[in-house]
Amino acid sequence: MLARNRGIVLVCSGAAERIDVKGGSMKDTTRISLSTPPAPQFANYYETARVLVPDDEIEGRVCSSRTGDRSPPTNHPDASWKRPTMVWESVSLTILFCVTLKEGSPVMNKTAKLWLVFVLLLVFLAPSAARADDVTDWNQILIQAGVTDRTPPYILPRYAAIVESAVFDAVNGIKGKYTPVHVVPGAPPGASARAAAVQAAYTTLVAIFPKQKSTFDEKYASSLAGIASGPAAEHSVSILLGLQWGQAVANAILAWRATDGFNAVFPPYPGGDLPGQWRPTPPAFASGVALQFVAMPPFVLQSPSQFRPGPPPALTSQQYATDFNETKTSGSVDSVVRTADETLYAQFWQDATVTYFWNRVALPLSAQHHLTLYENARLLALLNLAEADAIIATFDAKYRYSFWRPVTAIRLADTDGNPATEVEPDWTPLIVTPAHPEYPSAHAIVSSAAAGVLAAFFGDNTEFSVDSSGLPGVTRSFSSLSAALAEINNARVFGGIHYRNSCNVGQAVGTQVANYVLSHALQSVNGERNGQSR
């Protein structure tokens, strides 16, 4: 507790279901910041209310603000001050409380002590779990839509980036604190950020997954009911303005990405027949997929090849032989050296999309750190922008080098010119090989990009658990983001679909993508932040 302006200052972290702070009598510049309703008997000892955190940490939680006509004294520092009544609902965040009493109050010391005890009790007895907001709610709807649709893992990052870009630009357009993804801030005054976020998410999801419209309609109605009713109800005009703005932003984002070549049609890609060249793999022997991503304009990166790595090791090199033999031994379907846990997590990381995994990691971390609606919009936009650009960078490199998969290399090892490799005609990997070239690892690149964004917000040494939509009931727990990346690299080798070097190189590329996105996208217009939430 620090003395300040004849009052007390304390820093606490907690939650409050409702905050109702009414302006009282004016005296000089005294003010009060509360996390709970002020006791009526204290009404004569405080003057106005203001939460002493950046605006974007509270924005979106204000559900009503009514101003009176009382003017501030001539010496008041805020010429726009009016006697306010503000209500916040479901607040759970670290906050600075500044309680200042009238100078000369006969009960100043007693009241200060009582108020300190009162606030501390309410803060630390309040539930600490953060309530999901409209941004995180619709992120979960997005991820479930991908599961329901069985969207391929190389396509879902683009979808998610479109949705979260629209949500961020819709929310950011209310205050314009950050540079936009695409749509310049310009929401009408008074527009509801919550309504804008819901409309942006709903519109983009219906456009992407039209067959699931009935599901989205139900979620949409529920979201709007939550905004329009209950203690946090917003004014109908504010909601309408938010919906109109969210629709306009979503339309602009969809129009922008409609020209990125996603729907382009390419002739079949058969690869090549020379040693080291990719070719269709068993059991489906399908032509190469995801060709539309090779030259797709990135969301943030300057070009698909901006972080293109160098070529894979030469077939005659020791590095190639070492990686070849590790995958051959550890990645076969009947490997005798791979442990049961290694087999489990190789399947675990294959049975859901990278987008599913890292968004599922992000939401609990957001809740633990009490991120607000505005912060969640920015976090999820950066996360999915990084993943989308990582996929584009991945396929630029994959089709540039068109390197063969282990199942091909091991069955044709007698053609690679390396005496340290031996042919095994019937070798089969644990995991079915994806229908695109091996180098570099897509999972490694995209996961590294995602983890890089989350590390910027929460730190690398963050404990978390994550599930897999393809293995219900199975979760993996980690002491850090780096530990998860290490397991993912192992999983691709133990699954028999990648070489170790491809995973290591992929992780390095993903880190470069994350760093670039964090330093160039959604930057504070005041230069206050560089990727991090706080």
DSSP 410-459: HHTGGGS--TT----TT--BSSPPPSS--SS-HHHHHHHHHHHHHHHHH-
Q: Could you say which DSSP state residue 532 is in?
A: -
Supply the pLDDT for residue 526: 85
CB atoms within 10 A of CB 189: 7
- Asked whether residue 373 falls in the same domain as residue 511, the answer is yes
Tokens representing residue 396 in the block: 């630029």
- Asked whether residue 185 falls in the same domain as residue 318, the answer is no
What is d(CA 130, CA 375) in angstroms, rounded to the nearest whole number?
A: 13
- Asked whether residue 373 falls in the same domain as residue 396, the answer is yes
In a domain? residue 177: yes
CA atoms within 13 A on the CB side of 70: 16
- Asked whether residue 396 falls in the same domain as residue 486, the answer is yes
Supply the pLDDT for residue 56: 34
What ranges make up the beta strands (E) of 453-507?
464-467, 475-478
What is d(CA 207, CA 494) in angstroms, rounded to the nearest whole number?
A: 38
In one-letter notation, the amino acid at residue 372 is T
Number of folded domains in the chain?
3
Give pLDDT tens digits along the chain (534 positions): 222 333 332 323 333 333 333 333 222 222 333 333 333 333 333 333 333 333 333 332 332 332 333 333 344 333 333 333 333 333 332 233 333 333 343 333 444 444 434 433 333 333 333 357 999 999 999 999 999 999 999 999 999 999 999 999 999 999 999 999 999 999 999 999 999 999 999 999 999 999 999 999 999 999 999 998 877 778 889 999 999 999 999 999 999 999 999 999 999 999 999 999 999 999 999 999 999 999 999 999 999 999 999 999 999 999 999 999 999 999 999 999 999 999 999 999 999 999 999 999 999 999 999 999 999 999 999 999 999 999 999 999 999 999 999 999 999 999 999 999 999 999 999 999 999 999 999 999 999 999 999 999 999 999 999 999 999 999 999 999 999 999 999 999 999 999 999 999 999 999 999 999 999 999 999 876 544 544
Q: What is each CA distance from 62 to 174, 448, 494, in whole angstroms?
A: 13, 36, 50
Q: What is the pTM of this model?
A: 0.77
Q: Could you say which DSSP state residue 524 is in?
A: B
What is d(CA 243, CA 238) in angstroms, rounded to the nearest whole number?
A: 9
In a domain? residue 533: no
Q: Which of 242, 257, 272 is the last residue of a domain?
A: 257
Domain ranges, residue 101: 2-125
In a domain? residue 329: yes
Tokens representing residue 60 in the block: 């979106």
Supply the pLDDT for residue 233: 77
In a domain? residue 397: yes
Under a CB-based contact definition with an 8 Å cutoff, are residues 446 and 397 in contact?
no
- Asked whether residue 468 falls in the same domain as residue 323, the answer is yes
Q: Which of 194, 228, 257 is the last residue of a domain?
A: 257
In a domain? residue 505: yes
Q: Which of 125, 151, 169 is the last residue of a domain?
A: 125
What is d(CA 396, CA 394) in angstroms, rounded to the nearest whole number?
A: 5
- Asked whether residue 456 falls in the same domain as residue 352, the answer is yes
CATH number of domain containing 516: 1.10.606.20
Residue that is written with structure tokens 């912060």 in the block: 375
Supply the pLDDT for residue 528: 61
What is d(CA 128, CA 16) in angstroms, rounded to the nearest whole number?
A: 9
- Asked whether residue 488 falls in the same domain as residue 351, the answer is yes
Residue that is written with structure tokens 């002590």 in the block: 113
Supply the pLDDT for residue 529: 52
